Amino acid sequence: MPSPLNVKRNDYHNNRKKNDVKTPTPLADFIAEKVTDALDLDFYRIVDVACGNGVLSRAFFNLIGKDSCDVTGIDNNPYFDDFTYMMEYETDDFLRPGSEGLLFAEPDLVVCNPPFNQGEKGKSFLPELYMDRIFSIWPCVPLVLFAPMGMLLNQRMKSKRWKKLRDQEEQITSILPLPLDVFEDVEFHSFVLFFNIRNIPPVWYLTDEVINKINMEGI
């Protein structure tokens, strides 16, 4: 079976997706509105893993309001902002066992748009590593995870990742397929996976309004 053009063009080894590609603000706003409607909490404790410049978690903060939302960001390039408390360790440390004691009480929501490139040994998707680490610290926490197509698709029957996603307690409750060109300056096959969040359609799509806003942001 021939490989789709976009798979060849975005070869994981020779044409890697940049690690600092940010979440489009209109996309973050769209996700925040849907997730907060589904969770419907009085107060939100949110952890943004691989937060970058905080676009994804800022959308939640702006929507919920500072009196009803507390955000903690984790990233390799620490920053301090008016809405986020930055942890005193980096994402590389987060992936290592032993960091649990540095974290506060279990969050109500974890959001994560991680690097898509494979790990150092070239055998593991970083989104999978982040997912595993998040659920090892906070089992069954609601999670919004950006991931490449290979997280779910093109798996063989003996695939450990495929079996893990099938059998683990933390289940994918919704999928948001993303257009190939949703990220600025890169084309990549991806979607947003929602774990343990009910009351969201199993599969849903960006509206024309959101797409137009993303296009305007890129101008």
The three-state DSSP-derived secondary structure of 20-72 is CCCCCHHHHHHHHHHHHHHHCCCCEEEEEECCCCCHHHHHHHHHHCHHHEEEE
Residue whose C-alpha is closest to residue 10's, from 158, 189, 199, 173: 189
Over the Cα atoms of the chain, what is R_g?
17
CA distance 50 to 22: 10
pLDDT in tens, 7-35: 555 554 454 555 567 899 999 999 999 99
> Across the chain, where does the E strand assignment appear?
44-49, 69-74, 84-86, 109-112, 143-148, 172-178, 190-195
* Single-letter residue type at 87: M
pLDDT in tens, 130-183: 999 999 989 999 999 999 988 998 889 999 999 999 999 999 999 999 999 999
Which residues span the domain enclosing 170?
A: 5-217
pTM value is: 0.86
CATH of the domain at 127: 3.40.50.150
Domain count, the chain: 1
